[in-house]
Amino acid sequence: MKFAFPFVAATGIILTFSEGTKSDSHFLRRAQEVRDLTQTLDDYIFFTSGIRNDEKWCLTATETDREFGNLGFRECRMNDRPANQLWKLEANGLLRSGVDDQEKCAVAGFGNELFEGIRIRLGPCDLETPNNKFIWNAGNTRYLQTELEGYCVTNRGPNPHDSDIIHALECLDRGDYRWNTDTGTVDPPFVDLCAGVSCENPVIEGCDPFDGICKPKDAAVPCIAIIDESDNFSDANIEAKWATFRTTYPDRPFCLLQPLDSALSRLYLPPSFLSDSRTTFAQVSRDDLGPASEIQPSPSDWFGICGFGVYEGSDIDFIGKFLDTSGSMNETTVQASNSMFDQKVSAASLTIEEVFNEDEDWITPFLTTLVPGA
C-alpha cells in the first residue's frame, strides 16, 4: 500500500518521519516496514535534529575509538548510512548504536551519575545502570529524554555545528530540544496492482489499489482527518471508536494529519490504529503561523503525504474528508495546505465528500456512506 506512518512500541514510543510525496516520502515510511524492524543495520534509523534548517543534522557517535566517547552532531549522510549515525531505541529504553557490532549504547556520563549538563556518551550496552535508558514520544513533545530525571538530549544551542557535543539538560520548548527520525531508505517503486483489472460493475465497484481486488467503492473509499488534538475523549473511548470504524469498514484507508504548533497538543493514537496496514499518520504545518510553524515547509502536501495519487484515474474516485473546527484550530489554521489539497484532488479527477462534527472526534464522522448513491 502507499502508506506509512509512526510506530509505537510497548513503551509508548512513537516514531515519525519527515514529509514527502507518493514516490519519495521522507516524512513517512510504510508502517509495515517499520513494524518489521530487525536487529540488522539496514533497519536502524537516524535521529535528526528538530532545528529548522536547510540541512539535516544527525545524532552521531563522533568518537567511536574511545571508551565512553562523546556523541555529537554531524550533517546527516542518509545515502551512505554510516554506522555511527544509526540507532535503535529498544523497548527496554536502550538507545543502541550501529557501531562495533551493535554492542554500544548511549549513556549519560559514565553510567554512574546523572545531573543537568552531563554529556551523553557511547558506552557498553550491558552496563548495569539506569543511566543508559531513554524515552522518546514524538507524538507529544518529540523530546528524547533520560528515563531518570527526564533531562532532554540536546546539542545545547539553537544552531547546529560539527563541533557540538550532546548533553542532558532541562527541557525547553525549542527546536534544538526536539528530534525526528528518518530511515534514510528509499521507498520501493510503486506497483499498480489495479493495472489491467476491470471490475464487472464500475458504477458501484472499483479496484482497491491496496490489493488489486474489485469491491464496492464505498467500502474502500479513502479517508483523511485533519485535527490537532482530541482532549474531549478518553484513550479508551478513542480506541473503542476506532475499533467500531475498522469493524464496519475494514478496507477504508485512513490518513490522520496533526497540524503541529509549539504547544504540541495531545492527539491520542490507538495501538490498533498504529498497527493497521491501511493507516497513515503525519504531523503537518500550521499555515497561519507562517515561518514559525514547527513543521516546514509550509504548506504541507496532504495529497502526497497520504499517498492519494494512487487513486488518480481509479474507479474509486471519492475521498472522505474531516477538518476539525472545534476551536483549537479552524480552516484558517491550515488554509494554504487545505487549498493545495483541494487543487490536487480536483486535478486528479477525484471528489471530496466532507463530514463534520465539533467534538474533536476524528473517527465517528466517517461511520457513514461516503460515495453518494452507494
SS (HEC) of 220-250: HCCEEEECCCCCCCCHHHHHHHHHHHHHHCC
Report whether 282 contacts 16 (CB < 8 A). Answer: yes
* Spatial separation of the C-alpha atoms in residues 317 and 205, rounded to whole Å: 11
The predicted model scores a pTM of 0.57
Poorest-pLDDT segment among 26-30, 217-221, 302-306:
26-30
Every domain of the chain with CATH number 2.80.10.50 lies at 46-182
Pairing of strands 351-355, 167-169: unpaired
Residue 20 has pLDDT above 70, yes or no: no
Cβ atoms of 130 and 5 within 8 Å: the answer is no
pLDDT tens digits for range 343-367: 999 999 999 999 998 888 999 999 9
- In this predicted structure, the answer to whether residue 169 has a pLDDT above a threshold of 60 is yes
Cell of 157: 544551542
CA triple 153-159-164, angle to 5 deg? 55
User: Which cell numbers in the block locate residue 186?
Assistant: 528509499
Q: What mean pLDDT is predicted for residues 136-140?
A: 65
* Mean pLDDT in residue range 214-238: 91
pLDDT at 77: 86
In sequence order, the β-bridge partners of residue 223 are 254, 320
Residue by residue, DSSP assigns 305-358 as HTTGGGGTT-S--EEEEEE--SSS--GGGGHHHHHHHHHHHHHTT-EEEEE--S
Look over the chain and give the mean of its residue pLDDT values, rounded to a whole number: 81
Name the grid cell of 26. Answer: 521522507
Report the CATH fold assignment for 46-182: Trefoil (Acidic Fibroblast Growth Factor, subunit A) (2.80.10)
pLDDT tens per residue, range 238-285: 999 999 999 999 999 999 998 876 454 578 888 888 888 899 888 888
Interval 141-165 mean pLDDT: 83
